[in-house]
Each structure stands twice: as C-alpha cells, then as structure tokens.
Amino acid sequence: MKKIIITLVLFFMTTTAVQAAELIMFSMASCGYCQRFLKEVAPTYAESESAKLLPLRIISMDTRSAPKWFDKAIDAKKIDNIAGTPTFVVFDSGEEKARLLGYTSKKSFYEDIKKFIESNRGHLEKSAGLNTIPYEKETELNYKQALIQENKKVMDDKKVMPDEGKLLPNGVVNSHDIFDHTYKTRQEAEIAALWLGCSGIHTHEAPNGDELIWMPCEMRTE
C-alpha cells in the first residue's frame, strides 16, 4: 500500500517559521520493502535534486526506544504513530506535514517526492541546509548500516547462516577471507568493509583491463 498525503501540498503557504523540512524514513530490519528502497534509492538519493530540498534521514524501528524528538512530537500530537514500514514522513518546524506509506519502485517514489517538492518549492528553497532534527546515534542509520542490519536480521530469523562463500542479499560474501570479496561497484565494497569490520576500500584492474574490481578494506603500502 502506498499513498502520499496530497491534501497537504500547500501547507507551507500558512507556515511563517522558516525551518528545514526533512524526509524521515522509518525502517525495520525485517522489512523487505525497506531493503529494496535501501538498495535502489538510498545509495544515490543524496546526489539527487530532491535531496537538496528534502534530505533523507533513516530511523531504525528496531531499537528499544524511539528518538527523543519523536516522543516529544507524539506527546504534542505533532506526528502520527508509525503503523508499518517503510513510512516516509516530511517533518518540518517540529511537526509532520505529509507522509508516504510503503515503497513500490524507484520511479514511483521519485514521482511522489517531486510532486510534493514542486508544490512547496518556495518554502523548501528558503529553508534548505537548516537542520531541525537532532542526530541520535542510537536510532539513526546511514543506508549501508541499515542494509547490513536488515540482512543480519533476515539470517537471524531463519536461524541459518549461509555457507562460506555464499552471497548475502546485499552482495557481501559470507567469508572472512578478503580475497572472496570482489565487487563491481564501490557501494558493495563499502558495505563489505562494514561487514568485515575494516575501514576504507581499494581497487584492482580486472584481468581484461577494461574495468575495475572493487574490494573492501584500505590497502596501505609502506
């Protein structure tokens, strides 16, 4: 199920305070649609035109407690409860202004977000770059952390770990031998580095000489 609250597209016209709007994604590790969004949209969203006016924040619903700003907004009736994931909330000036329920495809997601932005562009441009929601390490994730969290949750739920060398859903090979970790994209190598617990990435030229092979962990030469 997916909808955006179009009836609120003109809300900024009656808002006097100029504060930043942010797009808050509420995600759970067991949510397959969340994982699709994290793979298809999140890696490049920050580079999109939409992100300039509606930056994305990812909030984990798997923590013991909700973010303090969320509890405060709930108590003040400034935001509705989150009944399912993924739920995307446009949060501005301390309250919810619109929400998008579910995720079906990258194309439809951007269509809905762009429609909202075009209806509120004047306010969004004035408030761009301002930060209204405090960062809370316990509940906020970047997309790479969220992908790893979700894939670990899937494996835990099944009570079965993949055999050595088997590909996990996010492209990481379940092996601690770094030579098993070769990828076609930078993003996959970065996720592998997080999974392995190392920092950085490095590249090698493919045998055919036409492309690069991406690998996790920074390689240092003395």
Q: What is the pLDDT of residues 49-76, one digit of tens each?
A: 999 999 999 999 988 889 999 999 999 9
Residues 6+ apart with CB under 8 A from 197: none
pLDDT value at position 64? 86
**Of 12-21, 84-93, 148-157, highest mean pLDDT:** 84-93
pLDDT value at position 13? 38
Q: Could you give the CA distance from residue 103 to residue 2 in angstroms, rounded to a whole number?
A: 7
Higher pLDDT, 159 or 143: 143
Quick one: average pLDDT of 128-141?
A: 82
pLDDT value at position 181? 85
Q: What are phi and psi of 199, to 5 degrees?
A: -115, 150
Angstrom CA distances, 137 to 25, 110, 133, 145, stand at: 15, 28, 12, 12
Reply yes or no on domain 6-142 having CATH 3.40.30.10. Answer: yes
pLDDT grade for 164, boundaries at 50, 70 and 90: low
- Is-contact 82 24, C-beta < 8 A? no
Q: Which residues of 170-187 are buried (b: 16+ CB within 10 A; e: fewer)?
A: bbbbbeeebeebbbeeeb
Angstrom CA distances, 164 to 161, 168, 172, stand at: 9, 10, 11
Tokens of 158: 């099944």
- Is-contact 196 217, C-beta < 8 A? yes
* Nearest to 48, CA basis, from 93, 106, 96, 102: 106
Over residues 169-215, the pLDDT tens digits come to 666 777 777 778 888 888 778 777 777 777 788 888 877 777 888 88
pLDDT grade for 163, boundaries at 50, 70 and 90: low
> In the chain, which segments carry CATH 3.40.30.10?
6-142
Tokens of 214: 């991406």
